[in-house]
Amino acid sequence: MSFTTFPRKSATFDDYTLSEIRRAAATGLYDIRGGGSKRKLPHLDDLLFLGASISRYPLEGYREKCGTGVVLGSRFAKKPVELKIPVTIAGMSFGSLSAEAKEALGRGASAMGTSTTTGDGGMTPEERGHSSILVYQYLPSRYGMNPDDLRKADAIEVVVGQGAKPGGGGMLLGQKISKRVAGMRCLPEGIDQRSACRHPDWTGPDDLEIKIEELREITDWEKPIYVKVGAARPYYDTALAVKSGADVVVLDGMQGGTAATQEVFIEHVGIPLLSAIRPAVQALQDLGLHRKVQLVVSGGIRNGADVAKCLALGADAVSIGTAALVALGDNDPALEAEYNKLGTTAGAYDDWHEGRDPAGITTQDPALAARLDPVLAGRRLANYLAVLTLEAQTIARACGKSHVHNLEPEDLVALTVEAAAMARVPLAGTDWIPGRGTY
């Protein structure tokens, strides 16, 4: 008697894993890609809001006001940043992105009264010109760093780490090193450019404190100083950033994107945003500085519910990167045929380092970049930012809040035990917060 059994593939060695092993064996190098983590991780979706019923009193949608403004950098800076909405654009470099994409980000953010952020490559005149509020990143590489641009900025963000790669440096492959990009970075055209993983002239929080003081001295104590960390040890990193004098702490969860780094890094280093916010808030509360040193969080923000959840957990604002690129037109299904030619599909394209982006966003190819209309793309981003804000307001009103910052952990429950433990809110239908009181 013979039997035909159904072929069964290994759950451990699935098709993707097998293809990665074959690719590694053929090339001898790890996979480098852009974007953020692609595997399913604990996320804000595992939280739910408790809309008002009897114990809480809701506000009327579209009638009763719900504030969205936020002031960042009120601790020491003479000129804090005032945003109309609690959603900012994360740091993304000229070099990684085309000049057209950077312009579109500036146009969209400015239309909504919020900020954009430079990246590993310096500040371009186009970016400064189109961003009404611009945060200048002070990165380990110090590519293009100069005091004139520091003074032109509205805030300075000392980048210690990034959510997609805490502890890792950047890598911009030669395909995208145009003459202009190379010139801004003082490096030869066409070579693979490494960005350092650590700052060259300070080694710890005591040094960082002095470094921040120097930046304040150079800019006459006018600009807010943000410190950005990749989420890994959020309690201690937040506390040390505060100790070092940060006006604002930017906390980037592991779902955050990157221009190009090792796949294994993106997927296996750092912790999800869901698990990072409460320890960071706890650090600020323990220091008596919650809402005085502002907390901006990022890493996988997609909709107004995500925004509202982050604020409810204690953040003052959120930052978006990948979502902003999608709003501009990244991975648009209308370009499916062109993505197919690159061996991928719309929604999965992540070889941003190759510079062949058919959407004209993550490229330095002039012909490709010219495809992106900065005015239209900027409008799309403004629309998206408006929707994020409206959605967050809608939820806040339903929870009885007249400002999105009045959202609080008590407005949330968790769907899973894991999410309840990470976000420190009760499991839905219970008053159980796993691990409460142990941090």
Return residues touching other proteins (CB under 8 A). 27-29, 141-142, 145-148, 150, 173-174, 185-188, 191-192, 194, 196, 200-202, 207, 210-211, 213-214, 217-221
**Contact predicate 118/127, CB 8 Å:** yes
Least gap, CB of 376 to other proteins (angstroms): 37
User: H/E element holding 248?
Assistant: strand 248-252
428 by Cβ neighbours in 10 Å (0-12 / 13-18 / 19+) ranks as: middle
CA distance 253 to 269: 10
Nearer to other proteins, 21 or 376 (CB): 21
The residue with tokens 């779902």 is 255
Nearer to other proteins, 202 or 384 (CB): 202
Rg of the chain over CA atoms, in angstroms?
22
Nearer to other proteins, 173 or 301 (CB): 173
Nearer to other proteins, 216 or 380 (CB): 216
- What pairing do the DSSP bridges indicate for beta strands 317-320 and 87-89? parallel
Residues near 402 by beta carbon (within 8 Å), at least 6 away in sequence: 59, 64, 65, 66, 67
Least gap, CB of 199 to other proteins (angstroms): 9
φ, ψ for residue 422 (rounded to 5)? -70, -40
Both tokens of 39, joined, read 């595997």
Least gap, CB of 20 to other proteins (angstroms): 16
CA distance 216 to 209: 11
- At 390, which amino acid appears? L
Both tokens of 165, joined, read 């790669």
Length of the chain: 439
Nearer to other proteins, 185 or 405 (CB): 185
Nearer to other proteins, 200 or 333 (CB): 200
Buried b (16+ CB within 10 A) or exposed e, 236-245: ebbbbbbebb
The closest alpha carbon to 385, from 307, 287, 438, 333, belongs to: 307
Least gap, CB of 220 to other proteins (angstroms): 6
Least gap, CB of 309 to other proteins (angstroms): 39
Least gap, CB of 19 to other proteins (angstroms): 18
Query: CA–CA distance from 349 to each of 5, 383, 426 (Å)?
Result: 36, 24, 38
The residue with tokens 């492959």 is 173
Least gap, CB of 210 to other proteins (angstroms): 5
Least gap, CB of 188 to other proteins (angstroms): 6
Nearer to other proteins, 82 or 213 (CB): 213
φ, ψ for residue 320 (rounded to 5)? -125, 145
Least gap, CB of 218 to other proteins (angstroms): 3
CA 341 to chain centroid: 29
- Cross-strand pairs, 427: 414
Least gap, CB of 258 to other proteins (angstroms): 16
Nearer to other proteins, 140 or 253 (CB): 140
Nearer to other proteins, 142 or 302 (CB): 142
Nearer to other proteins, 302 or 356 (CB): 356
Query: CA–CA distance from 425 to each of 274, 348, 403 (Å)?
Result: 11, 33, 21
Both tokens of 334, joined, read 């209308």
